[in-house]
Amino acid sequence: MNKIALAMLVTVGVGYAVWQQPQESVAVVSEVQKPEVGFAAPHFSLTGLDNQVYKVEGKRDRPVVLNFWASWCGPCRMEAPDLQKLYEKYKNQIDFYGINVTNNDSPEAAAAFVQSYKLTFPIPMDVAGTVSNRYLIQAFPTTYVIDTNGVVRKKIIGMIDAPTLELELRKLLQEKP
C-alpha cells in the first residue's frame, strides 16, 4: 500500500514539474516534423516562378525564412517591401522563400504581385496547397524562421514589421549550431 502511494506521488510530482516548464525554454531539437517552434520544419520541395526547385529538408548551409502569402492579401502587400529590403540586406547569410499559396491565388496574380513589388527573392509556388497544409497555414501572411539544423525558431502569424523581423534574423545569425 505504501509503495503504491509513493509511486502515485512521484508520478504526480514529475507530471507537475513537466507541466510547469515554460514552452519557450524547451530547446530540445526534435526529429519530428511539425510546424511549431522547437520541431524540425516539415520537408518540402517546390518549383519557383523562376523554374528552380527550392527545398527545405533538414540541415542547411544557411537559415531560411519562409513567408506564405497570396496576391490578394492586404497585409502581404504592406509587408512585401520590407521583406525585399531585408532580403537585400541578408541575402548572403539567410535564404528567403516567398511561398505563394497558389491554390488560394493564381500564377498570373502571383507573377503580377512579384513584378509590382520588384521582389527578387525566390518565389516557390504551392500550386496544390500541400506545403501550406503541412505548415497549417490559416492566415496570410505567415512567416517561419528556420535555423541551419532545420528547426523552426519562430512562427509569426500575420504581418510583421521590418525592425521586429530583423531582430529575429540577428538573433538567429548569432546562434552557432
98 neighbors 121 (Cβ within 8 angstroms): yes
72 neighbors 65 (Cβ within 8 angstroms): no
Average pLDDT estimate for 81-86: 97
List pLDDT tens digits, range 110-132. 999 999 999 999 999 999 999 99
Fold of the domain spanning 23-174? Glutaredoxin (3.40.30)
pTM of the prediction?
Answer: 0.82
Q: How far apart are CA 71 and CA 110, in angstroms?
A: 6
Q: Where are the domains of the chain?
A: 23-174
Number of H helices, E strands in the chain: 5, 8
Q: pLDDT above 70 covers what percent of the chain? A: 82
pLDDT, residue 31, reads: 73
Statement: residue 175 has pLDDT above 80:
no
List pLDDT tens digits, range 127-153. 999 999 999 999 999 999 999 999 999
Closest CA to 56 of 76, 40, 32: 40
Q: Are strands 142-146 and 152-157 parallel, antiparallel or unpaired?
A: antiparallel
φ/ψ (deg, to 5) at 93: -120, -25
Name the strand (E) or helix (H) holding 154: strand 152-157
